[in-house]
Amino acid sequence: PIDAARLWRMLMQMAEIGATDKGGSRRLALTDEDAAGRALLRQWAEAAGCSVAVDAIGSMVIRRPGRDPHLPPVVMGSHLDTQPTGGRFDGVFGVLAGMEVLQSLNDKGIETAHPVEVAVWMNEEGARFSPPMMGSGVWAGVFGEQEILDKVGQDGARLGDELERLGWRGPLAADHRSRPFAAYFEAHIEQGPILEHEGAQIGVVTGAQGQRWYEVTITGQEAHAGPTPMRLRRDALVAGARVVDRVNRIGLEGGEEACATVGILDVHPHSRNVIPGRVFLTVDLRHPDDATLAGFDRRFRDETQALCDAAGVTVEISEFWHFPSTPFAPELVQRVRAAAEGFGYRSRDIVSGAGHDAVYVARVCPTAMVFIPCEDGISHNEAENIRPEDAERGCAVLFEAVRQTAG
Amino acid sequence: PIDAARLWRMLMQMAEIGATDKGGSRRLALTDEDAAGRALLRQWAEAAGCSVAVDAIGSMVIRRPGRDPHLPPVVMGSHLDTQPTGGRFDGVFGVLAGMEVLQSLNDKGIETAHPVEVAVWMNEEGARFSPPMMGSGVWAGVFGEQEILDKVGQDGARLGDELERLGWRGPLAADHRSRPFAAYFEAHIEQGPILEHEGAQIGVVTGAQGQRWYEVTITGQEAHAGPTPMRLRRDALVAGARVVDRVNRIGLEGGEEACATVGILDVHPHSRNVIPGRVFLTVDLRHPDDATLAGFDRRFRDETQALCDAAGVTVEISEFWHFPSTPFAPELVQRVRAAAEGFGYRSRDIVSGAGHDAVYVARVCPTAMVFIPCEDGISHNEAENIRPEDAERGCAVLFEAVRQTAG
Ligand SMILES: NC(=O)NCCC(=O)O
Ligand SMILES: NC(=O)NCCC(=O)O
């Protein structure tokens, strides 16, 4: 029901903005590249006769009116920002599949009862400004607007200042109470290997696993790498290294569905012949079962403390971000499943390993997601890739689920 | 024989330049702070009637003439640059003790046969620009002048450009063949705990232990920290962490005199929810015995390779810097020992755990060093501290050894 060639053209054109040497994309949230991506989308939206607006926290909304202006919109969406060395499809696919649905509704002259919208959420990745999923989080009431405006990025920029600079402090309320959705659908690449491995063409996402993110600061004693005997050292990096290995072991021993990652580790004072006096690192623990994840939390805290005590260094652990395992709305999940079946696509139920804007939106409105396979399960990598047929199938399922829901 | 109060005043005044919140000093090589330190020293030197000149690689020379202008100088020296979070005495003590010796020779109206000089070597620490001991290394012919001019710092600056900017590309040849020394003495804080622990007041330095520095780059595969199963990961940081722990173990198992340190570790792409695809780290291995150090080298290379193979990541190891164990000149070492005895100071022989400019100078001229204790053996730390009595004793020994040598 959709124009697969047009969708692929949009994907490839968007990928030119912030294109990297290695075939990926770099459009960190609230940078000039992020803005250029939105400007391109805005052209397509306006050419399709849709109105475009921005909310107070910088999320962009593209609207195709429905028959009844009093009904809340059925919304599709995702994000256009990327990781520092990101791929061409993470987030982008969901936004452009939504844009393609709007254009296909136009092409077919389909009127819907509800307005149909595409949301481009502000800063989903959480790479430059952390945590992730900020735009959807503010809209859903998870974060306060001011709290987010005051966030400072890895490069020292204040989020609110970047919004002003880009003209993204829009007039729409970033608040689900004054701007509710009838339903929310997010199409996304799987970002993992399961669908490809099992030959499934569509992932019917039943929910997202829980996540706990931490910041860990280890303090030892700076000293000279030469004349300081090994047994007198309090080396913050040696302790930090053991924590990294232990976090990995918690993941490895936590069963097939466990994930545990250290993505950032900074050493101070960062000199070749100085025993590191301080290490900062981030930890990301995940599991679909909240009780299991709570067990990881205890094990991580206890073993980190014990490792640091044994190394003669002190440690501070703070939980930086957390969301529990999130089920999606069964009736919408069933609509996605049925749409895939209707087209004869091989589908399977799947739990999302990543957080998505859908996770926050799901707290305040019925929500579902559609996954498509990605090559070798690789994402958050410049080599991230998908096949045009899979993009087409995912977009078709999205179209069908939205059409039915929008009445 | 020296003016201890004047020496301490100079030390405290120098410490005000680049003073840090925590009582240390930050005068990274070839920064404005480094230049301000030298400008202060130049004032003292000129007030003492000495001439001041700079060589082609930015080392500064203060000269008190001798009776015979044809004799090569007897030189004292060390450095004024510091670590990023350095102390007030590392290097500075040797330079200012030398300056105090020149002033005491003046006060006493002592004429020497040889000229007596104080050398302030360019970039000893190797923190901003690596490796360490650059000024002495060029003078001694260890490094080529152009090679060093082209070094790029952690902050991206080119060393040669910084020299030009500061006006430090001086007219003296940075070459021991055209500018030989009769002898070289370097006074320094121990930077380790041995003298303090044994109640010794003076360390008679018989030589310096060997060092091998490496750069290690580990390459895995970036992927999403959520949907990527643990068993499919190729996490460069997990492998890097195991290397850090293994390097530490090589040090711990290498006997009392072994040292092994990772001072720098950088993670790429440095995002909380991305499995690190690349890690860069530095390794510093030391031992007084060259054969033992060669054994550490083999073990480090073999075990790093094995750990990385097991983790499914690739690794490149390159030796970045290396100097063998360096004995000092027995007749000068004996002169230091005798001077300490003459004053009734408790002294002991000691091997330097750190590299010093004296290590490169020793390759081309008779060299010795004088160590004084530092508090808790702590150095390369803002808390680095010494007692005024120890500064006085070290300077007195330096005075006596230089006076005898300069004739
Ligand atoms: N898809 C995605 O990367 N979302 C950010 C939150 C997460 O790391 O799961
Ligand atoms: N004293 C000093 O830090 N020298 C630099 C070379 C080394 O780390 O030993």
Nearest CB neighbour to B265, from listed A242, A260, A265: A265
Q: Check whether B69 has a pLDDT greater than 90.
A: no
State the nearest Cα–Cα gap between A224 and chain B, in angstroms. Answer: 5
Ramachandran area for residue B26 (φ above 0: left; ψ -120 to 50: alpha; else beta): beta
Instruction: Enumerate residues 6+ apart whose C-beta is below 8 A from B330.
Output: none
Helices (DSSP H) in B145-235: which residue ranges? 145-149, 159-166, 194-198
Is residue B146 lining ligand 1, measured as CB closer than 6 Å? no
Model's pTM, two decimal places? Answer: 0.92
- Polymer length of chain B: 407
Residue A379 contacts B, CB cutoff 8 Å: yes
Instruction: Enumerate residues 6+ apart whose C-beta is below 8 A from A233.
Output: A220, A221, A223, A275
Contact B191, B380 (CB under 8 A): yes
Nearest residue to B238 (alpha-carbon basis) of A265, A218, A266, A211: A265
B320 by Cβ neighbours in 10 Å (0-12 / 13-18 / 19+) ranks as middle
Write out residues in chain A with pLDDT < 50, as ranges.
Answer: none
Total H helices, total E strands in chain B: 12, 16
Mean pLDDT of B121-134: 96
- Reported as a single tens digit per residue, the pLDDT across A284-305 is 999 999 999 999 999 999 999 9
Q: How far is the CA of A279 from the centre of ligand 1 (A)?
A: 24
- Could you give the percent of chain B with pLDDT greater than 90? 100
Asked whether the beta carbons of residue B245 and residue A240 sit closer than 8 angstroms, the reply is: no
Rounded distance between C-alpha atoms, residue B136 and residue B193, angstroms: 26
Give the relative orientation of helices A236-252 and A290-310 as an angle to the nearest 10 degrees.
150
Chain B residues with beta carbon closer than 8 angstroms to that of A132:
273
- Reported as a single tens digit per residue, the pLDDT across B89-112 is 999 999 999 999 999 999 999 999
Residue A154 contacts B, CB cutoff 8 Å: yes
State the nearest Cα–Cα gap between A102 and chain B, in angstroms. Answer: 30
Closest-lying ligand 2 atom to the alpha carbon of residue B355? 9
Confidence of residue B181 (pLDDT cuts 50, 70, 90): very high
- Predicted local confidence at residue A69, as pLDDT: 85
Residue B135 contacts A, CB cutoff 8 Å: no
Asked whether the beta carbons of residue B263 and residue A240 sit closer than 8 angstroms, the reply is: no
Q: Which of residues 5-64 of B touch A (CB under 8 A)?
A: none
Rounded distance between C-alpha atoms, residue B109 and residue B96, angstroms: 20
CA angle B357, B362, B363 (to 5 degrees): 110
Mean pLDDT of B16-21: 97
Helix (H) or strand (E) holding B321: strand B314-323
